[in-house]
């Protein structure tokens, strides 16, 4: 009797059906995402309001410090708060998903040691929370745009591409650290630090036109986040916002390479998660 549930277990045997298995477990992906979302603000007083408060407060502080105190300027014709909020929206999306992906295996350690499913589900489902936060922050951005009476550029049609690129980049970095985190808990210490430093390295509080023409520009553009953040702003604020297409090429290439390497590493380590967790 042929059975659709027939499987063969052997060393390295899970390779063949991995992607099929992942597809069969899509419902679990949805449920795990829903779980993460619904437990997010349990037993908090302000609840979902936190998702609004945090970006608003961060933006206010950054505008005050960088614009009024440090006298940083946005590209001509763009209000500084809009530039910061635009950069912050996409940067926070990256930082959150990257952090959550990196911790996803450890957080779900009780599942890892007791049930089988393709482990890739855990990093994938952990993106949901970051994405919902992103949508909220984006909503705030729209409100602020109306306040500054800045028209939204037609280039907004390219926005989904940049969101996808952010997702690919955070997966690329996150998967690698998620697998490494199982073996070395040092990663848990490293990640908040990386996110903090990353915010200065990336053009969040300043436009990358400041880097234009410097000797380190080409190294600067190697950072896949530069292309993403500049591109994201370009979509929203139009051509007035500085965007060097060269940084986009490097984003696509670097991110893809990192994702492939991380995926291979993750798949290789996945089988031994249970022995180290």
Partner 1 sequence: MSVIVAENISKKYIIDHQRKNGSSGLRDIVSETVNKLFRKQEKNGFTEKEEFWALQDVNFSIDKGDRIGIVGHNGAGKSTLLKILSRITEPTTGQIKIDGRIASLLEVGTGFHPELTGRENIFLNGAILGMSKGEIRESFDAIVDFAGVEKFLDTPVKRYSSGMYVRLGFAIAAHLNPEILIVDEVLAVGDTEFQKKCLGKMRDVSESGRTLLFVSHNLTAIQALCNKSFYFEKGRLIDQGDTTHIVTNYLSKVSHKSLEKHWDNIESAPGNDQVRVKSFKLFPEYQDDLTHIDVRTPINFQFEFWNMVEGASLNLSMHLYTFTGECIFNVGTQAENFSKGLVSGTCEIPGNFLNDGSYVVSMMIVKDTSTVLYNMEEALVFDIEDYRENVTWYGKWPGYIRPQLNFSIRQTEHVVND
Per-residue b/e over 222-242, b at no fewer than 16 CB within 10 Å? ebbbbbbbbbbbbbbbbeebb
Pick between residue 20 and residue 212 the one whose CB is nearest to partner 1: 20
> Which parts of 156-195 interact with partner 1 (CB under 8 A)?
184-186
Which of positions 4-23 make contact with partner 1 (CB under 8 A)? 5-14
DSSP-derived letter for residue 41 is T
Q: Which two tokens stand for residue 277?
A: 């967790």
User: Shortest approach of partner 1 to residue 173 CB, angstroms?
Assistant: 17
Q: Which of 19, 22, 23, 28 binds partner 1 (CB under 8 A)?
A: 28
Q: Work out whether 271 is an interface residue with partner 1 (CB under 8 A).
A: yes
Q: Which of 16, 20, 35, 212 binds partner 1 (CB under 8 A)?
A: 35
- For the bound state, the minimum distance from the C-beta of residue 81 to partner 1, rounded and expressed in Å, comes to 36
Of the two residues 71 and 114, which places its CB atom closer to partner 1 in the complex? 114
Q: If binding is defined by CB under 8 A, does position 1 make contact with partner 1?
A: yes
Choice between 151 and 275, CB closer to partner 1: 275
Helix (H, G, I), strand (E, B) or coil at 118: coil
- Closer residue to partner 1 in complex, CB, 117/131: 117
CB atoms closer than 10 angstroms to residue 210: 13
Query: For residue 99, what are the contacts with CB-CB under 8 A and spacing of at least 6?
Result: 174, 191, 192, 195
The single residue among 22, 37, 106, 111 that binds partner 1, judged by CB under 8 A, is 111
Name residues contacting partner 1, limited to 115-144 (CB under 8 A).
115-117
How many Cα atoms sit within 13 Å of 82 on the Cβ side? 26
CB burial class (10 A; 0-12, 13-18, 19+) of residue 175? buried
Tokens at residue 163, please?
A: 């969101």
CA gap 112, 96 in Å, rounded: 22
Kindly give, in sequence order, each residue whose CB lies less than 8 Å from that of residue 196, ignoring residues fewer than 6 positions away.
none
Q: Is 274 in the site for partner 1 (CB under 8 A)?
A: yes
H-helix or E-strand containing 253?
A: helix 245-270
Stretch that binds partner 1, among 148-156, 220-228, 249-257, 269-277 (CB under 8 A): 269-277
How far is Cα 92 from Cα 223, in angstroms, rounded to an integer?
16
Binder to partner 1 among 110, 149, 157, 216 (CB under 8 A)?
A: 110
What's the closest the beta carbon of residue 191 comes to partner 1, in angstroms?
A: 13
* Residue 148 C-beta: closest distance to partner 1, Å: 39
The residues that touch partner 1, with contacts defined as CB under 8 A, are: 1, 3, 5-14, 27-28, 31-32, 35, 38-39, 42-43, 108, 110-117, 184-186, 271-272, 274-276
């Amino acid at each position: 009797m042929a059975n659709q549930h027939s499987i063969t277990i052997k060393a390295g045997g899970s390779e063949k059906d991995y992607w099929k298995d992942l597809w069969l477990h899509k419902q679990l992906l949805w449920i795990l995402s829903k779980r993460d979302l619904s437990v997010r603000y349990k037993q908090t007083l302000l609840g979902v309001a936190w998702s609004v408060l945090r970006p608003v407060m961060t933006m206010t502080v950054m505008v005050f410090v960088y614009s009024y105190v440090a006298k940083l300027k946005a590209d001509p014709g763009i209000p500084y708060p809009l530039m910061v909020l635009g950069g912050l929206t996409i940067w926070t999306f990256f930082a959150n998903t990257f952090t959550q992906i990196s911790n996803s295996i450890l957080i779900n350690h009780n599942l890892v040691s007791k049930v089988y499913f393709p482990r890739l589900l855990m990093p994938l489902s952990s993106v949901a929370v970051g994405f919902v936060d992103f949508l909220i922050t984006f909503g705030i951005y729209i409100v602020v745009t109306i306040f500054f009476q800045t028209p939204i550029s037609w280039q907004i049609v390219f926005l989904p591409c940049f969101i996808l690129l952010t997702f690919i980049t955070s997966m690329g970095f996150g998967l690698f650290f998620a697998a490494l985190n199982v073996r070395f808990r040092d990663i848990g210490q490293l990640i908040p630090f990386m996110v903090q430093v990353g915010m200065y390295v990336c053009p969040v509080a300043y436009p990358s036109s400041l880097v234009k023409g410097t000797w380190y520009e080409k190294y600067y553009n190697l950072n896949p986040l530069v292309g993403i953040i500049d591109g994201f702003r370009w979509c929203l604020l139009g051509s007035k916002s500085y965007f060097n297409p060269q940084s986009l090429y490097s984003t696509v290439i670097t991110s893809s390479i990192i994702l492939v390497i991380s995926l291979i590493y993750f798949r290789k380590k996945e089988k031994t998660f249970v022995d180290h967790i």
